[in-house]
Amino acid sequence: MDLNMVDKSIAVLRETFSTGKTRSLAWRKTQLRALIKLVRDNEEEIFKALHQDLGKHPVEAYRDEVGVVLKSADYSLNRVQKWMAPRKGDIPLLFFPANGEVMPEPFGVVLIFVSWNFPISLALDPLIGAISAGNTVIVKPSEIAQNCSSFLANTIPKYLDTEAIKVIEGGVDVSEQLLQQKWDKIFFTGSQRVGRIVLTAAAKHLTPVTLELGGKCPAILDAKSISSDMKVVAKRIAGGKWGPCCGQACISIDYVLVEDNYSEYLIDSLRRIIRKFYGEKPEESISLSRIVNRNNFDRLSRLMSDPLVANSIVHGGSTNEEKLFIEPTLLLNPPLDSEIMTEEIFGPLLPIITLKNIQESIGFIKSRPKPLVIYAFTQNETFKKQILTETSSGGVVFNDTMIHFICDDLPFGGVGQSGLGRYHGKYSFETFSHEKAVLHRRFFPEIEPRNKLEPSF
């Protein structure tokens, strides 16, 4: 797409926004209903595209993509009228009689960059928030998930308002052209490296930005307090590592912290669960997504090629370049200065780091960049409070993984290097809205200043 086409699309969206039609409740509800219909009408096409791009099984595709969007759209549809309403603001008695309110208003023309690992839900879920808030939108799908990008580009215009919502496909050159434009809001999901580029470009126009990035999300295993539930814990760790796109997810577990004397028990438990979930030959399993492309396959293979890292492999490690397959792999104490422990893994490799005392996990996490989420398996209430008060992360989940992502009443987002801003449910509406302060004052009574030289009678 040439620059003129980008300019033309943005001009159409600005003209549409200036008419005020996207601000109406009727328009917002119509678009949300149409989006729900889009997903329901094309469920099989979505499954097909996700399988072509990422090898996702229909069950995984529904759980992480289709179901997420339907739930989010229905939630917003039922609440958007309430969210739009101005809310009362308390005014100091000094200004009586007066009243104040906070009025949400849309930013205007917004740009949504989509990540390749959840190419449907990470396009449509933020779009739900942008529509609910009354904006006009350009969605830029990831070119890496080509079939899903084509699906969105071909399908969205058939269901949604083409004068207010557009899809622009393309590679890095198109993304660069889009970033040169002036936007009223940018929403980006992707890597920290590209997030910095987006933030730098936005700064030229003082454009507000939401960055959903990621990082190395740890799982803390306080085995002493949950020893009787280890089978359940192992299942949830496996689900939180290999369930979401074979570990290619910002919220998947990046590494596990456990005390020395429980590491073998954990490894044995995970081995059994891997065999149960994916069979004796995981390469033949239809339940594991594949690595998205050759570049990511090579990157993950390189992480394991370090001799000291390779020596730490205690389960798995096999690869198939032709099928872009990497086996669920467990590593015990790879070097802490190796790339696998300093960079986000974003794949099916799971380092297990042993500590003398699980309390050391607090310092371990604090010494590293703030993660998107901390998973902690513990029944120790004192330890829970320590984790909450002594560490910083986008979120914390106790005794499970990932489920906070589908809770519309909880904000989802990072902090520090793991992201900027939040969304989901009402938080998505707020992310794409400006809260305008409004104060109404009356002309009576008016207190007149008195000249001290004038008589008081």
Concatenated DSSP letters of 379-391? --HHHHHHHHHH-
212, 259, 327, 344: which is the annotated catalytic residue?
A: 212
245 labelled catalytic: no
250 labelled catalytic: yes
246, 250, 344, 430: which is the annotated catalytic residue?
A: 250
- Give start and end residues of each alpha helix (H) in 316-375: 339-342, 360-366
CA distance 156 to 177: 22
CA distance 85 to 447: 34
Half-sphere exposure of 260 (CA within 13 A, CB side): 3
How many other CB atoms are there within 10 angstroms of residue 224's CB atom?
Answer: 14
Copy the structure tokens of residue 116. 């390749």
SS3 291: coil
Q: What angle do CA 410, 411, 417 make, to 5 degrees?
A: 140
How many other CB atoms are there within 10 angstroms of residue 137's CB atom?
Answer: 28
Q: How far is CA 20 from CA 159, 170, 287, 366, in A?
A: 20, 30, 47, 47
Contact at 8 Å (CB) between 243 and 225? no
CA distance 376 to 399: 6
261 Cβ neighbours under 8 A, 6+ residues apart: none
Residue positions annotated with a catalytic role: 212, 250
